[in-house]
Amino acid sequence: MSWPTVLDVVSGILLLLGALMCLAGAIGLLRFPDPLSRLHVATKPQTFGLILVLAGLALTLRSWASFTTLVFLTATQFFTAPVAAHLVGRSAYRMGSVRTDLLVTDELSDALERSGDNPDGTQPPPPGQ
């Protein structure tokens, strides 16, 4: 078996696995009950699936220009998806759309109480008013 044939087979496997991970994330978005669970499947399998697809694409294209571009795309996705999910999760919690019966620990409510914020994100009136 020649080297280009091996690279083509490996890239095909990576592309297929990446597509399956993205499909699993999409199914999880439809099936999971609350925003926090949906954020989990919107970030972890989707990010890993995209990394696998981009790795398969890099093996298919076999050029340094495409490789550096795909590495930049991978790094961007790897660093921005968790941050965006974190912010959306905090917003969903403050809006009251998180099912608290599914939470094992609720550290955010303690932090909000210590800071004096209300769960909806508004500040309480100052004392004496």
**Residue 129 forms part of a structural domain:** no
**Residue 125 forms part of a structural domain:** no
Number of domains in the chain: 1
Indicate whether 110 pLDDT > 90. Answer: no
**Residue whose tokens read 């280009």:** 4
Indicate whether 44 pLDDT > 80. Answer: yes
Burial of residue 99, with CB atoms counted within 10 A of its CB: 0-12 exposed, 13-18 middle, 19 or more buried: exposed
**Residue closest to 112 by CA, chosen among 88, 97, 95:** 95
**Residue 128 forms part of a structural domain:** no
**Residue 124 forms part of a structural domain:** no
Q: How would residue 109 be classed by pLDDT, with cut points 50, 70 and 90? A: confident
**Residue 65 forms part of a structural domain:** yes
Domain of residue 21: give its range: 3-115
**Helix segments in the chain, DSSP class H:** 3-31, 35-61, 64-95, 107-115
